[in-house]
Amino acid sequence: MFKKDHSGVRSLKFVIFGPAGAGKTTLLKLYSFIQNHNKDGYEEEIISINNPLEETALFDQNVFSIDTTTKAPLLNYRMFAVAGQPRYKEIRSIILNGADGIILVLDFQKQNINLINPILDEIKSFQEKEYVPVIVLLNKTDLEFNQKVEMQELSELLQDSDINYLEPLYPISCIDAKDDMVEMVKIEKSMNFKKLQSVQAILKPIMVLTNRVINQKTLKF
């Protein structure tokens, strides 16, 4: 069954999950930018609870509609990006309740690989109680690191965790997508962001996850 908002529109709850610093809030802002922009420019509607260092302290949240075909029902996303620090484990557990899908955001930094396993353990524990599809995004492909995690290493780490996730893994760059959108507005005076390859890269996984959830709910577009 689909949940509905106050106006009766069907909605999906997606939780952006991952270790601290992986780019979860940035990804949520980009989704919001792409979906909520208007002719006067970008209006950021994201709700954030931050600490004094401007890091996510509890969660970030936004609601936006998805573009579908004319035959499809209107569908809203309720999107949460949860803080990744270990001390917010209980908050993450609360936010996961009622989730239709999980967007797991990891990054390629070798120095952060030890932060991944505790996050995978939390997802595994949650899936043992309730199956929720997970899609995996590998952020920061744009950066050069002295020690960069290979795709194969991350893939093996995920396989060893025994979490149930959708393949393939999706390499993305939130920074490239943001820069490309800013450049498009500046040079082309256009906001047709979805034709940009860097934007398509971050949108494709959410559509794959959406289709999987819809199929589970036995409602076809």
Check residue 142 and give its pLDDT.
Answer: 82
Taking residues 158-182, what's their average pLDDT? 92
Phi and psi at residue 177, to the nearest 5°: -60, -45
Is residue 185, in this structure, part of any structural domain at all?
yes
Residue type for position 33: F
Q: Would you say residue 60 has pLDDT above 90?
A: no
Check residue 38 and give its pLDDT.
Answer: 43
Is residue 12, in this structure, part of any structural domain at all?
yes
Q: Would you say residue 46 has pLDDT above 90?
A: no
Q: What is the DSSP string of 43-55?
A: ----EEEE-TTS-
Taking residues 141-166, what's their average pLDDT? 84
Check residue 216 and give its pLDDT.
Answer: 81
Is residue 221, in this structure, part of any structural domain at all?
no
Is residue 121, in this structure, part of any structural domain at all?
yes
Write out the residue range of the structural domain in which residue 186 sits.
Answer: 3-216
Q: What confidence category does residue 141 fall into, taking pLDDT thresholds of 50, 70 and 90?
A: confident
DSSP letter assigned to residue 85: S
Is residue 164, in this structure, part of any structural domain at all?
yes
CB neighbour list of residue 124: distance below 8 Å, 6 or more residues apart: 161, 162, 163
Query: What's the domain count of the chain?
Result: 1
Check residue 67 and give its pLDDT.
Answer: 56
CATH number at residue 204: 3.40.50.300
Is residue 176, in this structure, part of any structural domain at all?
yes
Is residue 118, in this structure, part of any structural domain at all?
yes
DSSP letter assigned to residue 116: H
Is residue 67, in this structure, part of any structural domain at all?
yes
Taking residues 120-133, what's their average pLDDT? 93
Q: How many CA atoms lie within 13 A of 168 on its CB side?
A: 7
